[in-house]
Amino acid sequence: MEAAHSDLPAGGGRVCRLRLHGVIPVAAGPLFGDQTRRVLDSNVSEQMRWWFGIPDAALGALAYLGDVIFGLAGSTRRWQYRPWLVILFGLDVIPLGLVSAILVVMQGTVVGYWCFLCLATAAISLLLIFLAYDEVWSSLTYLARLWRRTRSRRAVWNAFWGRASVEASEVALQR
């Protein structure tokens, strides 16, 4: 259950990993107190650790690192110049946000406890979905419009990888 609250690579993930390894003896949140520890020690958290072989906090930290890398790569027109990067960003952000939301729901329904950091990182994940959706949609729309105009798989493939063409530039400038 810790992934929803421990996905932040610089903060929450590190704190939860230290807690899991016994370096930090107690995990308590600012709003829910001891409930944070109960979430960390829950059967759900243990099951996820068993499934993946590593603490889910580490997986969450890697996912957020991917968000940061993909989010900062490229320009404001990367939907046109690097659709592959935008779609990869969407494949990273959207599932992470959905998993975070599911884990938060599981906190209340399965575990029966809440943790502030869990709720905060889930909110950040959902915000990232909201922010990434438009860019992913723009890339997919751009590629679909190029397909409708050219009916050429090669033109769409080249545009997907960011290779310039007259047709792709014209489609990108259309409203």
Q: 59-74, pLDDT tens digit by residue?
A: 778 888 888 898 898 8
Give per-residue pLDDT as tens, 20-37: 555 555 566 678 878 888
Please give the model's pTM, rounded to 2 decimal places: 0.73
**Cβ-Cβ contacts under 8 Å for 15 (sequence gap 6 or more):** 6, 24, 27, 117
What Å distances lie between residue 166 and 9, 87, 104, 105, 131, CA to CA? 42, 22, 47, 48, 29
Closest CA to 104 of 9, 24, 7: 7
Q: Which pLDDT value is given to residue 46? A: 85
Q: Which pLDDT value is given to residue 131? A: 87
Q: Which pLDDT value is given to residue 143? A: 97
Q: Which pLDDT value is given to residue 159? A: 97
Handedness of CA 141, 146, 148, 152 (dihedral sign): negative
Q: What backbone phi and psi angles, to 5 degrees, belong to 29?
A: -95, 165
Rounded to an integer, what distance in angstroms lies between the CA atom of residue 5 and that of residue 148? 43
Q: What is the dihedral of CA 95, 91, 52, 124, to 10 degrees?
A: -50
Q: What backbone phi and psi angles, to 5 degrees, belong to 59?
A: -65, -40
Give per-residue pLDDT as tens, 121-153: 889 889 989 989 999 999 999 999 999 999 999
Rounded to an integer, what distance in angstroms lies between the CA atom of residue 121 and that of residue 64? 10
Q: Which pLDDT value is given to residue 166? A: 94
**What would the mean pLDDT of 94-123 be, rounded to a whole number?**
88
